Amino acid sequence: MPSISLTVNGEPVSAEADVRTSLLDLLRETLGMTGTKKGCDHGQCGACTVIVNGTRINSCLSLAVGHEGDTVTTVEGLAEGNGLSPLQKAFVTQDAFQCGYCTPGQLCSATALLNEIARGEPSVVTDERVRLSEEEIRERMSGNLCRCGAYNNIVDAILSVAGEPA
């Protein structure tokens, strides 16, 4: 089996993985990082969203061997020191989760969303100037499903930290 070296949540790691192992399975089963969830395992729900080299991806669709040398951030890596990030605090304050299963993917996606906006990256609903709006957030978060229906509170949480780093 090939050995894969990457950085996960700021820590260098090496692991052996079959060439068919997804990044999601490497994180959960090999590295024991169970914050990232396996939902549909088909890239349709967003529960497995992680941030790779600054870009959010569905980790269930990406082979681990393709991430040699990459930097991966999971929900476990979003906290600041011993406390929550501003976005995590906003999810709590705004009641942006109910059962919590989708929350790790929502948090990773929202963190990446705020960074995309800061970089001025356009989306499908962007006009000429990229700006954070409810419509923009809903478009950019559309790949993350919540069966409990906490969408309005998720949008409110993201808007509440828009002026702060995620």
User: Based on the domain organization, do 26 and 62 belong to the same domain?
Assistant: yes
Per-residue pLDDT reduced to its tens digit, 75-124: 999 998 889 999 999 999 999 999 999 999 999 999 999 999 988 888 87
Confidence of residue 164 (pLDDT cuts 50, 70, 90): low
Q: Measure the CA–CA gap between 31 and 98, rounded to whole angstroms.
A: 27
What single string gives the DSSP state of each residue in 124-147? Answer: TT--SS----HHHHHHHTTTS--T
Q: Measure the CA–CA gap between 48 and 57, rounded to whole angstroms.
A: 8
Residue 102 maps to which CATH number? 1.10.150.120
User: Based on the domain organization, do 21 and 50 belong to the same domain?
Assistant: yes
In a domain, 134, yes or no: yes
Residue 141: is its pLDDT beyond 80?
yes
**Per-residue pLDDT at 18:** 96
Residue 63 maps to which CATH number? 3.10.20.30
Type of residue at 122: P
**In this structure, what token pair is assigned to residue 75?**
């929900």
Task: Say if residues 117 and 134 touch (Cβ distance below 8 Å).
Answer: no
**Per-residue pLDDT at 17:** 95
Whole-prediction pTM: 0.94
How many other C-beta atoms can be found within 10 angstroms of the C-beta atom of residue 64? 26
Domain count for the chain: 2
User: Based on the domain organization, do 108 and 134 belong to the same domain?
Assistant: yes
User: Based on the domain organization, do 71 and 95 belong to the same domain?
Assistant: no
Which structural domain, as residue segments, surrounds residue 58? 3-76
In a domain, 81, yes or no: no
User: Based on the domain organization, do 36 and 92 belong to the same domain?
Assistant: no
Nearest to 137 by CA among 86, 84, 77, 96: 96
Per-residue pLDDT reduced to its tens digit, 13-71: 999 999 999 999 999 999 999 999 999 999 999 999 999 999 999 999 999 999 999 99
Write a three-state SS string for 93-124.
HCCCCCCCCCHHHHHHHHHHHHHHHHHCCCCC
In a domain, 12, yes or no: yes
**In this structure, what token pair is assigned to residue 33?**
């990082």
Task: Say if residues 86 and 146 touch (Cβ distance below 8 Å).
Answer: no
**Per-residue pLDDT at 86:** 95
**Per-residue pLDDT at 129:** 73
User: Based on the domain organization, do 92 and 154 belong to the same domain?
Assistant: yes
User: Based on the domain organization, do 98 and 155 belong to the same domain?
Assistant: yes
In a domain, 165, yes or no: no
User: Based on the domain organization, do 143 and 99 belong to the same domain?
Assistant: yes
| Coil, helix or strand at residue 23 | helix
Pick the last residue of a domain from 51, 76, 101.
Answer: 76
Nearest to 6 by CA among 32, 26, 35, 29: 26
Pick the last residue of a domain from 76, 106, 140.
Answer: 76
